[in-house]
């Protein structure tokens, strides 16, 4: 046989194999990426996630656009910007005409299913085979495994490749699952972006217990795939979602809010222990899967880009910048507040824009008691909450005072050097040495917001607030 015919035959066989790979994607819920051992946490136990990263690939700079559940999930499943799908606010649904991964993989013969937490809509935009939600009150791992096994059985009987998203509730407050006795509140380390109080440590113990329970689920599903001899024929992805409900993460555009943990096993592409350093958006996941599995995308179908080239050594970045947003409306307790946030980041710097910085408020329900305590020295509730526990300690240390102030008072712009200051503690926006970078990022952000019809985020948020009434 001629050499070129052998090559053609090999390529056809390779394409056939790729087109029949399965996909399992396991998603956390309000989980900081730095809660995983593979991202440097020495206290929280995540052996299965760490094993996956060691045997596959870890993404170092993966980001979402909005650090809230509904916007995150619709961005993930559609590969489209939340500005485009109309899902900047929480509890939002995508505009008609939005396409998601189910639209692209079903014509290829895939059974595309969602098990666990949904928080997406409408159905015509996300036509997953629904395998049902699970309880948050008890450990749902056994039920998730049981339904996954039934799904695998059904696909095997039909000889059908599958794409299964398993969406856990673990690490979303209130913390009710996992084994908190596995952690000693006095021995865990408190990150420098939080104030060390007994209340915080108790919350961290319960939160870590749920992170570890999520990790157990990762191990259970992997073991099941290995038992069925499907591991080497399955793209297996684990994602932490946006950051935790604890302060300075979810409901913000800080790094802890928008940066997501992302590790995967991708047969034929991922190399053991490899790390992808360039910027990646969760919008990139769907186009990467579709193109690899033999689907077709036309210009405008997705806003994300395929990251497959980044799995090779020495590849060029696919993004120069990534953008973030927060809108306060449709969040319990804060429906009348107007506090939008927008952000831009490159591989080293993040710039955060707070248009309503003069208001003296921030955004979410977890900070409400603390705000009142700051404003009224006579208000000291019996249950202060975690952020409230910080207020009475603010005079003990300059760092404590700065963090309590930051809870409710933001400057118009915040510029952080993520290489020198990964916890975003030192605002460089007014430092002379950083004016060139500040102006460059500010101009680029303004240009992007203009192109999105979001030049005035306060006006944008008011429009969402009027729609929700």
**Domain with 44 in it:** 20-319
Residue 2 lies in a domain: no
Q: Do 384 and 247 belong together in one domain?
A: no
Residue 147 lies in a domain: yes
Q: Do 440 and 373 belong together in one domain?
A: yes
Q: Do 286 and 257 belong together in one domain?
A: yes
Q: Do 359 and 220 belong together in one domain?
A: no
The per-residue pLDDT for range 27-75, each reduced to its tens digit, is 999 999 999 999 999 999 999 999 999 999 999 999 999 999 999 999 9
Q: Do 103 and 213 belong together in one domain?
A: yes
Residues 163 and 22 sit within 8 Å (Cβ to Cβ): yes
pLDDT at 12 over 80: no
Structural domain count of the chain? 2
Q: Do 200 and 287 belong together in one domain?
A: yes
Residue 238 lies in a domain: yes
pLDDT at 366 over 80: no
Q: Do 313 and 336 belong together in one domain?
A: no
Residue 15 lies in a domain: no
Residue 5 lies in a domain: no
Whole-number pLDDT of residue 393:
84
Nearest to 92 by CA among 54, 114, 128, 119: 119
Looking at 266, 290, 319, the residue that finishes a domain is 319
The per-residue pLDDT for range 161-197, each reduced to its tens digit, is 999 999 999 999 999 999 999 999 999 999 999 999 9
Residue 12 lies in a domain: no
Q: Which residues pair with 462 in a beta bridge?
A: none
CA distances from residue 372 to 197, 367, 369, 422 in whole angstroms, order as listed: 19, 9, 5, 30
Residues 41 and 35 sit within 8 Å (Cβ to Cβ): yes
pLDDT at 386 over 90: no
Whole-number pLDDT of residue 15:
42
Q: Do 286 and 381 belong together in one domain?
A: no
Nearest to 454 by CA among 362, 361, 341, 349: 341
Whole-structure pTM value: 0.94
Looking at 260, 293, 319, the residue that finishes a domain is 319
Q: Do 140 and 243 belong together in one domain?
A: yes
Looking at 319, 351, 374, the residue that finishes a domain is 319
pLDDT at 2 over 50: no
Q: Please report which confidence band the pLDDT of residue 332 belongs to, taking 50, 70 and 90 as the band edges.
A: low
Average pLDDT along the chain: 91
Whole-number pLDDT of residue 219:
98
pLDDT at 1 over 60: no
Is 467 or 373 the better-scoring residue by pLDDT? 373
- pLDDT exceeding 70 applies to what percent of the chain? 93
3-class SS string, 77-134: HHCCCHHHHCCCCCCCCCCCCCCCHHHHHHHHCCEEEEEECCCCCCCCCCCCEECCCC
Whole-number pLDDT of residue 374:
82
Whole-number pLDDT of residue 13:
35
């Amino acid at each position: 046989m001629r050499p070129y015919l052998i090559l053609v035959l090999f390529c056809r066989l390779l394409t056939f194999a790729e087109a029949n790979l399965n996909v399992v994607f396991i998603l956390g819920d309000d989980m900081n990426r730095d809660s995983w051992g593979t991202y440097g946490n020495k206290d929280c136990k995540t052996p299965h996630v760490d094993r996956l990263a060691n045997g596959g690939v870890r993404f170092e700079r993966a980001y979402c656009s909005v650090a809230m559940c509904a916007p995150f999930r619709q961005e993930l499943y559609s590969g489209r910007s939340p500005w485009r799908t109309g899902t900047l606010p929480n509890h939002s649904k995508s505009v008609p005409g939005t396409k998601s991964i189910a639209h692209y993989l079903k014509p290829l013969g895939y059974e595309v299913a969602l098990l666990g937490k949904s928080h997406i809509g409408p159905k015509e935009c996300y036509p997953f085979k629904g395998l049902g939600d699970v309880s948050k009150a008890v450990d749902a791992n056994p039920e998730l495994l049981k339904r996954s096994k039934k799904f695998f059985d059904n696909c095997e009987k039909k000889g059908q490749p599958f794409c299964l998203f398993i969406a856990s509730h673990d690490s979303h407050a209130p913390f009710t699952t996992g084994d908190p006795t596995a952690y000693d509140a006095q021995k865990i380390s408190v990150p420098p972006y939080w104030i060390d109080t007994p209340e915080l440590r108790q919350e961290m113990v319960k939160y870590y217990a749920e992170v570890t329970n999520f990790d157990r689920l990762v191990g259970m599903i992997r073991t099941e795939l290995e038992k069925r001899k499907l591991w080497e024929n399955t793209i297996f992805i684990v994602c932490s979602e946006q950051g935790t409900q604890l302060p300075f993460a979810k409901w913000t555009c800080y790094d802890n809010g928008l940066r997501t943990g992302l590790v995967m096993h991708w047969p034929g592409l991922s190399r053991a222990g490899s790390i992808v350093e360039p910027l990646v958006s969760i919008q990139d996941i769907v186009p990467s899967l579709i193109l690899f599995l033999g689907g077709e995308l036309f210009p405008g179908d997705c806003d994300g880009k395929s990251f497959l080239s980044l799995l090779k050594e020495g590849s060029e970045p696919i993004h120069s910048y990534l953008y973030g947003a927060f809108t306060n409306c449709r969040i319990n307790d804060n429906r009348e507040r107007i506090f939008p946030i927008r952000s831009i980041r490159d591989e080293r710097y993040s710039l955060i824009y707070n248009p309503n910085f003069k208001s003296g408020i921030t955004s979410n329900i977890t900070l409400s008691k603390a705000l009142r305590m700051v404003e009224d020295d006579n208000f000291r509730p019996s249950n202060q909450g975690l952020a409230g526990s910080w207020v009475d300690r603010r005079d003990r240390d300059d760092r404590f005072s700065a963090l309590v102030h930051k809870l409710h008072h933001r400057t118009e712009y915040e510029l952080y050097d993520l290489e020198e200051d990964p916890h975003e503690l030192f605002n460089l926006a007014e430092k002379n040495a950083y004016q060139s970078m500040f102006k460059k990022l500010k101009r680029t952000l303004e240009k992007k917001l203009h192109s999105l019809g979001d030049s005035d985020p306060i006006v944008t948020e008011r429009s969402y607030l009027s729609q929700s009434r």
